[in-house]
Homo-oligomer: A and B are copies of this chain.
Amino acid sequence: MSDQPTPTFISLDDAAAMTEGTRVTFIPGLQALYSEALKNVCFVKGISLTRALHPPMGIDKETGEDRQARLFELTSQTSLPTMFHDDERPRNVWIEQLALAERVGSPSAPALIPDDVAQRVEMFGLCAVILGEDGMVWNMRIMNDGPLSRKYGYNKTASAAAPAKVAEVIALIDARLKTQAENGSAYLVGDAVSAADIYWATMSMCVTATPPDIMPVTAQNQGMLKFFASNAKVPAIAEVLTPRIEEHQHYILKTYCETPAVLGGDPL
- On A, residues with C-beta under 8 Å from B are 72, 74-78, 89-90, 92-93, 95-96, 99, 103, 113, 117-118, 120-129, 132-134, 153, 165, 168-169, 172
Say whether, besides A124-B124, A124-B132, A117 and B76 are in contact (CB < 8 Å).
Answer: no
Q: Are B95 and A128 in contact (CB under 8 A)?
A: yes
Bound: A128/B122 CA distance, A: 10
Residues of B close to A124: CB separation below 8 A: 124-125, 127-129, 132
> Of B103, B127, B153, B172, which one neighbours A118 at CB under 8 angstroms?
B172
Q: Are A120 and B113 in contact (CB under 8 A)?
A: no
**Could you list 20 A-B pairs, sorted by A, with CB under 8 Å?**
A72-B89, A75-B76, A76-B77, A76-B92, A78-B89, A93-B93, A95-B132, A99-B134, A103-B133, A113-B134, A117-B129, A118-B172, A120-B125, A120-B128, A120-B129, A123-B125, A124-B124, A124-B125, A125-B128, A128-B128
A186 smallest CB distance to B (angstroms): 20
A94 smallest CB distance to B (angstroms): 9
Bound: A123/B153 CA distance, A: 23
Chain A: interface secondary structure?
helix
A190 smallest CB distance to B (angstroms): 13
A90 smallest CB distance to B (angstroms): 6
Q: Are A93 and B90 in contact (CB under 8 A)?
A: no
What number of copies of this chain does the assembly contain? Answer: 2
A166 smallest CB distance to B (angstroms): 10
Residues of B close to A122: CB separation below 8 A: 121, 125
Q: Are A168 and B117 in contact (CB under 8 A)?
A: yes
Q: Are A169 and B125 in contact (CB under 8 A)?
A: no
A261 smallest CB distance to B (angstroms): 27
Q: Are A121 and B128 in contact (CB under 8 A)?
A: yes
A81 smallest CB distance to B (angstroms): 14
Residues of B close to A128: CB separation below 8 A: 95, 120-121, 124-125, 128
- Among residues of B, the one whose C-beta sits closest to the C-beta of A138 is B99
Bound: A219/B92 CA distance, A: 37
Bound: A153/B103 CA distance, A: 10
Q: Are A77 and B95 in contact (CB under 8 A)?
A: no
Top 8 A-B pairs, shortest CB-CB distance: A125-B125, A121-B125, A124-B128, A99-B133, A76-B76, A117-B168, A124-B125, A93-B93
**Most chain-B Cβ atoms within 10 A of its Cβ — which of A118, A121, A132, A134?**
A121
